[in-house]
A and B are shown apart, each in its own frame.
Chain A
Amino acid sequence: AQSVTQLGSHVSVSEGALVLLRCNYSSSVPPYLFWYVQYPNQGLQLLLKYTTGATLVKGINGFEAEFKKSETSFHLTKPSAHMSDAAEYFCAVSDGSGYSTLTFGKGTMLLVSP
């Protein structure tokens, strides 16, 4: 069975500062890993995903994440936070079962202050 742990339910940064949101996963098979973003009163939107190949994955809005198998991690980063990045971020893992089911973490709320 898969599981996802997101460290920190809330992360606060200043505008222009580095954003780092942590995600660790547990999977019995090579995982597919996802980051989704949820803006207030909206559905979840894909930021980026890792399936195979290059372990550093670039996504929308300047975000990127690196798959580290030895650390079972898939942390999300952005060099410089913008006010518009304030949202909730979810890490998810797929077991490749063929039905594209996802196991989500509990989410991390990113707060950006001016």
Chain B
Amino acid sequence: DAGVIQSPRHEVTEMGQEVTLRCKPISGHNSLFWYRQTMMRGLELLIYFNNNVPIDDSGMPEDRFSAKMPNASFSTLKIQPSEPRDSAVYFCASSLASGTGGETQYFGPGTRLLVL
């Protein structure tokens, strides 16, 4: 079975440009999570969706960040405009949430973003 798929794997852009990160969750999963990982702050949860609906976006750093999940098999994380401090590895994860908790999150390989 295919795992969580993320694209691109690497992105280098200049400050001020728009960046779009993409994620395809595992088929049948109903929860999707976006994380950011940096040396300074570790692993941060940015936003998560359940059944394509955003549940909690309190981790989104600022209005420059937005995320969408138009259908069960696709999600995007957009940064506009990008800044050097956005440089990080961005992970997408998915799970099959049953309502009881304890479900495993499956992570994608990540997108390594460098903003110059």
> Contact residues of A with B, CB < 8 Å?
32, 34, 36, 41-46, 49, 51-52, 90, 94-102, 104, 106-107
Q: Which of A43, A46, A100 contacts B97 (CB 8 A)?
A: A100
Determine how close the nearest CB of chain B comes to the CB of A9; give it in whole angstroms: 10
Q: What 9 new A-B contacts, CB under 8 Å, besides A44-B105, A45-B107, A100-B102?
A: A32-B102, A42-B109, A94-B101, A98-B97, A100-B97, A100-B103, A101-B45, A106-B42, A107-B43
A49 and B102 form a contact (CB under 8 A): yes
Determine how close the nearest CB of chain B comes to the CB of A32; give it in whole angstroms: 4
Q: Any chain A CB within 8 A of the CB of B104?
A: yes
A99 and B31 form a contact (CB under 8 A): yes
Determine how close the nearest CB of chain B comes to the CB of A25; give it in whole angstroms: 14
Q: Kindly list chain B residues whose C-beta atoms are within 8 Å of the C-beta of A49.
A: 102, 104
B42 and A100 form a contact (CB under 8 A): no
A98 and B100 form a contact (CB under 8 A): yes
B102 and A96 form a contact (CB under 8 A): yes
Closest-by-CB residue of B relative to A9 is: B42
Q: How far is the CA of A45 from the CA of B99 in the complex (A)?
A: 22
Determine how close the nearest CB of chain A comes to the CB of B73; give it in whole angstroms: 18
Q: How far is the CA of A44 from the CA of B89 in the complex (A)?
A: 12
Q: How far is the CA of A46 from the CA of B107 in the complex (A)?
A: 9
Closest-by-CB residue of B relative to A34 is: B104
Determine how close the nearest CB of chain A comes to the CB of B109; give it in whole angstroms: 5
A101 and B43 form a contact (CB under 8 A): no
B102 and A51 form a contact (CB under 8 A): yes
20 A-B residue contacts at CB 8 Å?
Answer: A32-B101, A34-B104, A36-B107, A43-B107, A43-B108, A43-B109, A44-B43, A44-B107, A46-B106, A49-B102, A49-B104, A51-B102, A94-B102, A96-B100, A96-B102, A98-B99, A100-B31, A100-B103, A102-B105, A104-B42
